[in-house]
Structure 1
Amino acid sequence: MLFEKAESFINHMHQELEFDPSAAHERIKEIKDEIRENGTYTHTTEELIFGAKTAWRHSNRCIGRLFWNNLEVRDLRHIDDEASFIQSIEKHIDDTTNNGKIKPMISIFSNDIKIYNEQLIRYAGYSEAGDPQSVETTNLARHIGWQSSPDDFNILPLIYKFPHSPVTYHELNKNIIKEVPIRHDDYPCLESLNLKWYAVPIISNMDLEIGGLYYHTSPFNGWYMETEIGVRNFTDEYRYNKLREIAESFNLDTSSTTTYWRDRALVEFNYAVYHSFKNEGVSIVDHITASKQFKQFERQELREDRKVTGKWSWLAPPLSPSLVHNYHQGYDNTMRSPNFLYRKNENKCPFH
C-alpha cells in the first residue's frame, strides 16, 4: 500500500513539473528498494516542497488556495535538539509575521518531536476567562508547571515533547508575537472591551500526508480572513461569546431580535476587525475578496485541467454568504493526496 501511494505521488510530481520520465522511473525504483529494506522511505527536500504546496492546493476547507504556490517550505527534519527546535519555532513566527506582511509558511520537523498546541500562538482558556477552545491545552500547560492568572488574552506557551523526555513547555518570546487591538472609528466605546487578536494563525495540530508518509509536526500558516476572528472566534457561543457586549458598545437595542442587533453588530464588528488589522499594517483579507480570489483559483485550476474539490460549509463565509459565488454552487468534498489531515484531539492532558 505504501509503495503504491509513493509511486502515485512521484508520477504526479514528475508529470506536473514536466521532468524527464526516466527520472520518475529511477526514483520509483529507489523508493521500492528502500521500502523493501526499511519498511518506509524518505522524501527528498524537492519532494517535500512539492508535496506541501500541493497539499495546500488540495485542502478542501481552505478558501485561500489561490496562493498555494507561494508557500515557503522549510525542511527541518534534521533538527534533533530542543534548543534548535525552539529557535526554529520562534524563527517561523518571526519570519512569517514579517512586520505584518505575512508570508505563507510551513516548517516540517521530524515525527520524533511532538507539539501539543492546536496553534503555535493561541490564547489560554479558563473556566472564568479566555478561550474555551484552549481549556484542555491550558490544563496541560498548568500541569507541567506553567503559571498564569486567568485573563482573556494570555498567550499559551509552546508545549512539546522530545523522545525519552517528559512533556515540557517554553514561553514564546513576546517580542515576536504581534497582536492587534480591535477598534472602530465610528464606535469608540468598542475599545473599552479591550479586545485584541494575534496576527498569524499557525496551525500545529494537523498531519501533512505526502505519498503515504505522514508528517505529524509541521506547523503552517497563511493569513486571517476577517470572519474567522469577527464571526467565529469572538462571537460563537462556545468561544468568546462577546456579541452582546459588542452590540452594547455600539449602543444597539438588544431587547428584541427584531432590532436586528445581532446582524448589525456582526457586520460592524467584522469591519472593525478588518480595519484594525489594516491600520496596524497586518495582512488580512475580507470575505468578499477571499471569495473572489477563490473564484480566480477555480479558473486557474480549470486552465491547468485540475479538478477543484472543496467543503461547501467552509468555503461559504459565515457573514453574508449569499453575496459570494461559492455559496451558490456545490463542491465535491473528496479528499486527495497530498493533503492536510485532521487528527484526533491530542492536546488533552496525558497525565489524567
Structure 2
Amino acid sequence: MPGSWDHRGARPPATSGCPVAGPGGAPQPPAAVQPVDPEEARSFVEQFYAEASPSVPLADRLRQVRDEIAVTGTYVHTPEELTFGARVAWRNSARCIGRLYWNGLRVRDRRHVTEPAQVAAECVEHLREATRNGRIRATITVFAPDRPGRPGPRIHNEQLIRYAGHRAPDGVVRGDPRYADFTDQVVKLGWPRPQPLGRFDVLPLMISGPDRRPRLFGLPPDAVLEVPLRHPEHAWFADLRLRWHAVPAISNMPLEVGGVCYAAAPFNGWYLNTEIGARNLADTDRYNLLPVIAARLGLDTSSVRTMWRDRALVELVRAVQHSFDEAGVTMADHHTESERFLTHVAKEESAGRRCPADWSWIVPPMSGGLTPVFHRYYDEPDPDTRPAFLPPTD
C-alpha cells in the first residue's frame, strides 16, 4: 500500500505518553508525559542537519533545544524539522511498500490545534485536500504534541474513514465486523445508527482533547469520496452494491520525532488494490465476500483443492482495480508497486542508508511469488528507529 498502513502485526513496546486505543478498545488516559530525552533530541537535530543542511549553525540549534528542554521539559520543532521528521518517519516504516514517495509527503502543520471540534474540522479539511476529486495526495496533518503536564489530542478511530459494524442479537454483523466494538462505543456516546442499517455506514470521528473526554463528530458527505465497485466483464457484480472509500487515512498511530510525541497525526497515501480486494473485502473476519463471488461465478466450492478461493479472489481484486481506474481515483497495483519498492531500496542503499522491511507486510497478500519483492530478504526493522509512526497501544 503506497502510504497507508493496514494493522496486521504485533505492537512494539509502549512509549511513554502515547497510548491510543485500537479499533475496538475504549479510549485510555495517557501515562504521565515524561520530559523529552535531550539525547533523542540531539540525535534527531544532527540527522536533520546532516540531510537538510539548514542555514542556522548546528551548535546554535543544539544549544537552543537543550535550553528549551531544561526549562519546559520539551522543545518546539521548526516547520522544516517537522516536515523532515514526518517524511523520514514514512521512510522508516518497515511495513510500507510505498516508501519510494516519502519525500513528497505534504505536511499540514496544525500544532496550535488542541480542542476536539477544531481537530475534527481539520481532519475534514485534510480529507478534502488529500482527495482532490480522486487524484490522491499523500498528506499528514500534525496536531499539538504531548507536553509535560498537558497531553495533546487523540483521534481514537483507526482510520478517519471506516465503516460501522452493526451487531445483531444473534451475533451476525452487518457491515465491517472489525469495527463492531468501536461502533457499539460510539452508539453509547450518542451516535444514532443509520436507519436502515447499511453495510457501508461511515463512522463518526471519536476525538478527545486535553481533558481526555471523547467527543463525536460526523464526517460530511463531501469529505468522503467512495467508489462503487463493478467488474470489467461480469455485469452481476454491480448488483452486489459494493463500494469502498478512496482515501486510507491512518489516524491513531502516534508520530514520534526527536523525542516529541504527536499522538494525533493522521496521514494518508493511496490504496493498493489488494488492500481492499484481498483483505478488507475478502478476509473471513471482515466482509468475507469470496463465497458470494464464487457462487456468482458458478465455481465448485466443494473442496479447497478446486482453487475456488483463489479464482474468486482474483476477480474481486480485478473489480476493485477496474472500478478505481474507471472512476479516476488513484490506486496502485501490487505488481508495479513491488517493482517501485525495489527502486526505493536501491536508492536508500546508494544514499548509504539501511532500508529495513518486514517481509510479511511488503509481499502482497495475492500472487506474492509473482512479484519481485518475494524473492529476497531485507534488513530487519529496528523498533528503536526514529523518527517513526508508532503502532497504537491498547
Q: TM-score, normalised by structure 2?
A: 0.84
Q: Of residues 318, 323, 330 in structure 2, which corresponds to 1:283?
A: 330
Distance in 2 separating the partners of 1:197 and 1:251: 25
Alignment pair present for 1:334 and 2:393: no
Structure 1 equivalent of residue 163 of structure 2 = 123
Alignment pair present for 1:74 and 2:119: no
Q: Give the secondary-structure state (helix, strand or coil) at the position aligned to 2:166.
A: coil
Structure 2 equivalent of residue 104 of structure 1 = 138
Alignment pair present for 1:2 and 2:50: no
Q: CA deviation at 1:286?
A: 0.5
Check whether the contact 2:116–2:208 (CA below 8 A) recurs between aligned residues. no
Check whether the contact 2:116–2:153 (CA below 8 A) recurs between aligned residues. no
Check whether the contact 2:115–2:210 (CA below 8 A) recurs between aligned residues. no
Q: CA deviation at 1:18?
A: 2.9
Q: CA deviation at 1:39?
A: 1.5
Structure 2 equivalent of residue 141 of structure 1 = 186
Q: CA deviation at 1:176?
A: 2.0
Structure 1 equivalent of residue 69 of structure 2 = 35
Bigger mean CA offset, 283-292 vs 124-133: 124-133
Bigger mean CA offset, 248-257 vs 187-196: 248-257
Question: More helix by proportion, 1 or 2?
Answer: 1
- Residue identity (%): 43
Q: What one-letter code is carried by the residue in structure 2 that aligns with 1:334?
A: D
Q: Give the secondary-structure state (helix, strand or coil) at the position aligned to 2:256.
A: strand
Structure 1 equivalent of residue 293 of structure 2 = 246
Structure 1 equivalent of residue 260 of structure 2 = 213
Aligned-residue RMSD, C-alpha: 1.5
Alignment pair present for 1:317 and 2:364: yes
Q: What one-letter code is carried by the residue in structure 2 that aligns with 1:16?
A: E
Check whether the contact 2:88–2:388 (CA below 8 A) recurs between aligned residues. yes
Bigger mean CA offset, 65-74 vs 127-136: 127-136
Check whether the contact 1:227–1:317 (CA below 8 A) recurs between aligned residues. yes
Larger RCO: Structure 1 or Structure 2 (Cα < 8 Å, ≥ 6 residues apart)?
2
Bigger mean CA offset, 336-345 vs 93-102: 336-345
Distance in 2 separating the partners of 1:238 and 1:28: 50
Alignment pair present for 1:233 and 2:267: no
Distance in 2 separating the partners of 1:24 and 1:87: 37
1:233-277 CA-partner distances (Å, limit 9, x unpaired)? 011111111110011122222222232111111111111101100
After superposition, where does 1:144-223 map in structure 2 within 5 Å? 144-149=189-194, 150-164=197-211, 166-223=213-270
Distance in 1 separating the partners of 2:347 and 2:68: 37
Check whether the contact 1:113–1:162 (CA below 8 A) recurs between aligned residues. yes
Distance in 2 separating the partners of 1:205 and 1:34: 28
Q: CA deviation at 1:165?
A: 7.0
Q: Give the secondary-structure state (helix, strand or coil) at the position aligned to 1:159.
A: strand
Q: Give the secondary-structure state (helix, strand or coil) at the position aligned to 2:354.
A: coil
Q: What one-letter code is carried by the residue in structure 1 that aligns with 2:182?
A: T
Check whether the contact 2:160–2:251 (CA below 8 A) recurs between aligned residues. yes
Distance in 2 separating the partners of 1:293 and 1:40: 38
Q: Of residues 12, 19, 22 in structure 1, which corresponds to 2:47?
A: 12
Q: Give the secondary-structure state (helix, strand or coil) at the position aligned to 2:261.
A: strand
Q: Give the secondary-structure state (helix, strand or coil) at the position aligned to 2:390.
A: strand
Distance in 2 separating the partners of 1:163 and 1:213: 16
Distance in 2 separating the partners of 1:86 and 1:229: 25
Check whether the contact 1:209–1:341 (CA below 8 A) recurs between aligned residues. yes
Q: Of residues 296, 315, 321 in structure 2, which corresponds to 1:268?
A: 315
Q: What one-letter code is carried by the residue in structure 2 that aligns with 1:182?
A: L
Check whether the contact 2:92–2:386 (CA below 8 A) recurs between aligned residues. yes
Structure 1 equivalent of residue 177 of structure 2 = 132
1:84-109 CA-partner distances (Å, limit 9, x unpaired)? 33321111001100000000000001
Bigger mean CA offset, 201-210 vs 248-257: 248-257
Distance in 2 separating the partners of 1:80 and 1:228: 32
Q: CA deviation at 1:64?
A: 0.2
Check whether the contact 2:232–2:322 (CA below 8 A) recurs between aligned residues. no
Q: What one-letter code is carried by the residue in structure 1 that aligns with 2:391?
A: Y
Distance in 2 separating the partners of 1:333 and 1:232: 24
Structure 1 equivalent of residue 15 of structure 2 = none
Structure 2: state its 5+ residue gaps.
1-35, 146-151, 168-172
Alignment pair present for 1:49 and 2:98: no
Give the length in aligned residue pairs. Answer: 344
Distance in 2 separating the partners of 1:236 and 1:228: 10
Bigger mean CA offset, 212-221 vs 33-42: 33-42
Check whether the contact 1:107–1:220 (CA below 8 A) recurs between aligned residues. yes
Check whether the contact 1:291–1:326 (CA below 8 A) recurs between aligned residues. yes
Structure 1: state its 5+ residue gaps.
346-352
Distance in 2 separating the partners of 1:85 and 1:257: 48
Q: What one-letter code is carried by the residue in structure 2 that aligns with 1:342?
A: P
